[in-house]
């Protein structure tokens, strides 16, 4: 990518910062759940009465890996558009789950379980973080930048 104008540098810097921030959140979230017993996260999922209980084991095993790998791809800038779409979609889904649960006051855990036992944010704090990450993912898809990314090494790959 040829950055010749200050506006291009700014856009590249914003994209890089959003990739690192959102990727870091996803890596941390996935990693702490992977390092803890799987039953901890499965138990948190069971407290959300909006999720069918038969899905809890599948989600408890898969979500941490998806979060971790999505975060790694974002930080490296590898398949950025795909990773940003996935991160934004996951964050929007998590935000929707939290918002609906709070509105219905249905099966609300003490904390969301998003960061395992490592960090306990209130549901409102996590809702804000999820919304920030959802909009970050949307920005990275709509305003792709290859600067400071592995995508820049693969000119024939996806645009973002």
DSSP the chain: ----SHHHHHHHHHHHHHHHHHHHHHHHHHHHHHHS-HHHHHHHHHH-TTS-GGGHHHHHHHHHHHHHHHHHHHHHTSSHHHHHHHHHHHHHHHHHHHHHHHHHT-S--SS--TTTTT----HHHHHHHHHHHHHHHHHHHHS---TTSGGGG-TTS---
In a domain, 11, yes or no: no
In a domain, 70, yes or no: yes
Q: Which residue has the higher pLDDT, 8 or 17?
A: 17
Residue 142: predicted pLDDT: 94
In a domain, 66, yes or no: yes
Residue 18: predicted pLDDT: 96
In a domain, 2, yes or no: no
pLDDT > 50? residue 159: no
Tally of domains within the chain: 1
In a domain, 104, yes or no: yes
Residue 109: predicted pLDDT: 64
Q: Which residue has the higher pLDDT, 47 or 24?
A: 24
Convert the pLDDT of each residue in 87-120 to its tens digit.
999 999 999 988 887 787 765 666 677 887 788 8
Convert the pLDDT of each residue in 113-145 to its tens digit.
788 778 888 888 999 999 999 999 999 999 888
Contacts of residue 141, defined as CB under 8 A and 6 or more positions apart, other chains included, come to 81, 84, 85, 88, 160
pLDDT > 60? residue 160: no
Q: Shortest CA distance to 85 belongs to which of 16, 47, 136? A: 136
In a domain, 139, yes or no: yes
Q: What is the mean pLDDT of residues 70-86?
A: 96
In a domain, 14, yes or no: no
Q: Is 148 left (phi over 0), alpha (psi -120 to 50) or beta?
A: left
Q: Is 61 exposed, middle or buried (0-12, 13-18, 19+ CB in 10 A)?
A: middle
pLDDT > 70? residue 15: yes
Say if CB 114 and CB 29 are below 8 A apart: yes
- For the chain, percent of residues with pLDDT exceeding 90: 54
Residues spanned by the domain of 100:
19-153
pLDDT bin (cut points 50, 70, 90) of residue 48 is confident
What is the rounded average pLDDT for all residues in the chain? Answer: 87
């Amino acid at each position: 990518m040829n950055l010749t104008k200050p506006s291009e540098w700014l856009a590249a810097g914003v994209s890089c910062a959003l990739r690192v921030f959102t990727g870091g959140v996803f890596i941390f979230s996935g990693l702490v759940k992977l390092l803890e017993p799987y039953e901890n996260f499965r138990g948190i999922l069971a407290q959300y009465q909006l999720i069918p209980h038969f899905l809890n084991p599948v989600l408890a095993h898969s979500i941490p890996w998806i979060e971790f790998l999505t975060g790694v791809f974002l930080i490296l800038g590898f398949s950025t558009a795909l990773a940003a779409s996935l991160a934004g979609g996951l964050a929007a889904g998590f935000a929707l789950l939290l918002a609906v649960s709070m509105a219905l006051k249905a099966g609300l855990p003490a904390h969301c379980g998003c960061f395992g036992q490592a960090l306990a944010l209130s549901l409102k704090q996590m809702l804000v973080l999820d919304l920030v990450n959802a909009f970050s993912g949307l920005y990275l898809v709509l305003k792709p930048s290859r600067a400071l990314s592995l995508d820049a090494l693969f000119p024939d790959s996806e645009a973002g």
